[in-house]
A and B are shown apart, each in its own frame.
Chain A
Amino acid sequence: MFGYIVRRLLQAIPVFLGTTLLIYYMVFAMPGDPIVALFGDKAVNPAVLEQLRARYHLDQPFIVQYLIYIGGILRGDFGTSFSGQPVGTILAQTFPVTIRLATLALLFEMIVGVGVGLISGLRKGKFFDASALAVSLIFLSLPIFVIAFVFQFFFAIKLGWAKPTVSGEAGWGELILPAIVLATISIAYIIRLTRASVIETADQDFVRTAYSKGLSRRRVIQVHILRNSLIPVVTFLAVDFGVLLVGATVTEGIFNVPGVGRTLYQAIIRGEGPTVVSFVTVMVLIYLVVNLLTDLLYAALDPRIRYGK
């Protein structure tokens, strides 16, 4: 087990180098000069332009820029944004916000998705099941920005239950509305996944055996059906957590959440290479770690899976 983890972590090193190189190249290849854009429509002072290019190493060939950047990262220096803030600080400010948002969204997915899916599965074909399927189909087919705008308009502007946007503190309470929006699409998926899994498990021999042993229905559902049907759901949730951490750009923009997605979007628009690459790099690392944890979780849930020596 330990050896397996070490091997997986070592594998992460080439993945890390490869992705940073690729992303750095893509930012480098982005057309247009971000320094020229800094001047807006106004006159460009050529001498100032040259100096700013040199300050951000934009006058160097690609590979030199990349090596300077990687060298900085190894010393714990992620570079600075155009507004003079160390990218490391920006990372430290935005990731906690996005982690809170993703955790909340995951919580909603678990409670609502697994709950509704379980009841649906146990009452296959009944009214609750049919309506849950219908509602989840609606949410599955709506793009997230539609859900976000509709929720923002009704719950925040019309009903006043929450504020339309999130303040700088981005506390747990404020993040509930965007988290629900973020969770809706996955909830629909989890309902269906749980339902199918519960139906399949409920037909298994060991469930019949449990009933015939005289166990209460509650105990059969909790211990035998639920635990066994959760394996695919838990792995989906784990992967989804990784996605939530990196992919909330649209929702964060609409609710003005000062998190990773919004900051990254702004950095891309402004062509701030160091910010973009550092953010994406951290995202890649998170994804690698979450994937590893997911695989370990598999083994914990299903004793038949073993990661060998």
Chain B
Amino acid sequence: MRRITLAAGIAAVATAVALTLTGCASGGNNNLITTNGSEPQNPLVTTNTNETGGGLILDSIYAGLVYYDAKGAPVNEMAESITSSDNTNWDIKIKSGWKFTNGEEVTAQSFVDAWQYGAKLSNAQLNSYYFDIIEGFSYEEDTTLTGLNVVSPTEFTVTLAAPQSDFPLRLGYSGFYPLPKAFFDDPVAFGENPIGNGPYMLQEQGAWKHNVDIKLVKNPDYQGGRKPANGGIDIVFYATMEAAYADLQADNLDVMAGIPDSALKTFKTDLGDRAVSQGAAIFQSFTIPERLAHFSGDEGFLRRQAISMSMNRQEMIDAIFDGTRQPARDFTSPVINGWRGDLPGADVLDYNAAKAKELWAQADKISPWSGSFQIAYNADGGHQGWVDAVANQIKNTLGIDASGAPYPTFAELRTAVTDKTIATAFRTGWQADYPALANFLIPLYQTDAGANDGGYSNADVDALFTQGDEAKSVDEANTFYQKAQEILLQQLPAVPLWYGITDGGYSTKVKNVEFGWNSVPLLYNVVKN
């Protein structure tokens, strides 16, 4: 009898625990759409946020001059008109009657002040390079953007340092959002509790719970085209994609952008028609710098072509990514207006072992190959699988020694790449800031451009880029950019691998889920069942 008491006691405790477990399983705010995000790396300031965690929040709480629809086409949001006769002098008229959520009117001055702040060197804003196209910008000293002039509360003019045919396309990027006066009074406090003019606003002061979530509610005064179809959104910060996916499966997360690698095989069967898979504005490649031995001049072009043709991209995609990538046909992305999959010379991206060997042999005649071919990658980003596969294919086709060269962290790899000390090829990738062909090309392959990690320089390409910038329309500009790509396909400043895919899914509690050109779900359209 007594022995049983103890056992019974334990059983009672266990039952109590089980009861608490079930009892406490409910709760939470049911009015908000939940979606996955990550803790912003910087204070929430438009000109200082360049990563997706903070970008998702800023895009929800700010309205810029334009926003991008699901296809990536710009739609006027606060802009009444954006016009120019020469692509250099732009006249921007904005709609009147818009307010920040603290009641302050949004005027032309709100835009100009924000841009001046973002461009000023001593403010150390991560997006400062965005303003380098505007007259008066300097990388050396504090200057005023003389190209910005307020004409009236609803009109301002922008003078660019050089013509930019795609200037209106850029204006939907978060760096170009307006800022209220409250920001300039106390930027630090503002970064914690930003005040915007977008479809949503912070639920309350301190709504950003660091490392936990940020709750946004509908902004009743919003007048633009992104009118929320729901009461608000709760962006939950997850440490891992696996945790977010577990929540999605349990209907505890409404909209999920991205799918963890571990679930790529199964997510379409797990979620059925609630699984999302579509093209993304993500381009992945590896770059072989010009300065490496055997990779400069004509020898380098031949060797890059040989390496590109020695890989079977589709085979790697199927084996490593379960088909969730698209083999690259150029240097941009199929979701961008103007993309073509049939550029002359794109066959350099097809697997052709015989041709690859032949080109490699030609290069050997210029200077015989020695040493080994390595591709550097950051080991903290899940790149090992494909880098090893690429190295193996090169090794098998060309019969040279090839391998991956891991760097422990992203920071270490980027440091070696940007200070140009890296002595191997390295992985590169680009996610577009705004939906334009030029954004995939000019920052990466123009002589001395900011992200030209391989040190590529070609006068013809530079000239075509300039012609594109000066073109009368985006379509006309694209013809120049495509001509530039034809040269790039011969010289391969980066070896294109594949385009990213937007993976995601949603719960049984919501409908009308659509993902935009930049892989971000259009949260304002989502409706609770």
Q: Taking beta carbons and an 8 Å cutoff, which residues of A are in contact with B?
A: 30-34, 36-48, 51-52, 55, 82-85, 89-90, 93-94, 108, 111-112, 115-116, 118-119, 122, 149, 152-153, 155-157, 160-165, 167-168, 171-174, 176-177, 216-218, 252-256, 258, 262-263, 265-266, 269-271
Task: List, in ascending order, chain A residues with CB within 8 A of B212's CB.
Answer: 167-168, 258
Distance A172 CA – B418 CA, assembled complex (angstroms): 47
A150→B411 CA distance, assembly (Å): 34
Most buried by A among B6, B23, B40: B6
Which of B243-251, B324-332, B505-513 lines the interface with chain A? B243-251
Shortest C-beta distance, A252 to chain B (Å), equals: 8
In the complex, the answer to whether A38 meets B41 with C-beta atoms within 8 Å is yes
Q: Which residue of A lies closest to B213 (CB)?
A: A168
Chain A residues, CB < 8 A from B243: 164-165, 253-256
Q: Which residues of chain B have C-beta atoms less than 8 A from A171's C-beta?
A: 24
Q: A43-B450, A85-B210 are in contact. Are A173 and B21 (CB under 8 A)?
A: yes
Interchain residue pairs with CB less than 8 A apart (26): A30-B411, A36-B411, A37-B415, A39-B126, A41-B414, A41-B451, A43-B129, A45-B139, A45-B450, A48-B124, A82-B41, A83-B40, A84-B192, A116-B10, A119-B3, A161-B21, A165-B238, A165-B243, A167-B27, A168-B209, A173-B20, A256-B243, A265-B239, A269-B409, A270-B41, A271-B411
| Inter-chain contacts of A252 with B (CB < 8 A) | 239
Contacts of A32 in B (CB 8 A): 407-416
Complex Cα gap A171–B450 (Å): 47
**Closest 3 interchain pairs by CB?**
A43-B450, A173-B24, A32-B412
Summed over the interface, the residue pairs from A and B with CB atoms below 8 Å come to a total of 201
Q: Mark B206-232, 1 if CB is under 8 A from A, else 0.
A: 000111110000000000000000000
Is B42 in contact with chain A by the CB < 8 A criterion? yes
Query: Distance (Å) between the CB of A262 and the closest chain B CB?
Result: 5
B50 lies within 8 A of chain A by Cβ: yes
Contact B139 A163, beta carbon cutoff 8 Å: no
**Interface residue stretch chosen among B163-171, B307-315, B333-341, B426-434:** B426-434
Separation in Å of the B239 CB from the closest CB of chain A?
5
Extra 12 A-B pairs, beta carbons < 8 Å, given A162-B25, A164-B247: A33-B415, A42-B129, A42-B433, A43-B129, A45-B128, A48-B125, A83-B41, A115-B9, A164-B250, A173-B25, A177-B21, A266-B239
Q: Does B470 contact A (CB under 8 A)?
A: no
Q: Looking at chain A's contact residues, is the secondary structure mostly helix, strand, loop, or mixed?
A: helix
* Beta-carbon nearest neighbor of A94 in chain B: B211
Tell me which residues across on chain B come within 8 A of A162, comparing CB atoms: 21-22, 24-25
Residues of B within 8 A of A83 (CB): 39-43, 210
B410 with A266: CB separation less than 8 A = no
Docked CA distance A116–B11 (Å): 11
Q: Are B415 and A36 in contact (CB under 8 A)?
A: yes
A48 interface neighbour in B22, B39, B126, B430, Cβ under 8 Å: B126
Q: Taking A37-B414, A265-B239 as contacts, is the C-beta distance between A156 and B250 under 8 angstroms?
A: yes
Contacting pair B246 A262 (CB below 8 A) = no
| Chain A residue nearest to B430 in the complex (CB) | A41
Give Cα A108–Cα B418 distance, bound, in whole angstroms. 51
Which residue of B has the minimal Cβ distance to A89? Answer: B210
In the bound complex, CA of A143 to CA of B140 (Å): 54
Cα–Cα distance between A209 and B184 once the two chains are bound (Å): 82
The verdict on B240 contacting chain A, using a C-beta distance below 8 Å, is: yes
CA–CA, A14 to B111, complex, Å?
A: 54
Minimum CB distance partner of B214 in chain A: A168
From B122, B242, B243, B449, residue with most partner A Cβ within 10 Å = B243
Instruction: Give the docked Cα–Cα distance between A123 and B135 (Å).
Output: 87
B287 to chain A, nearest CB (A): 11
Judge whether B211 and A263 touch: CB under 8 Å. Answer: yes
From the candidates A33, A45, A116, A256, name the one contacting B129 in the complex (CB within 8 A): A45
Please tell me which one of the listed residues B140, B247, B252 contacts residue A47 in the complex, with CB atoms under 8 A apart: B140
Cα(A260)–Cα(B212), bound, Å: 12
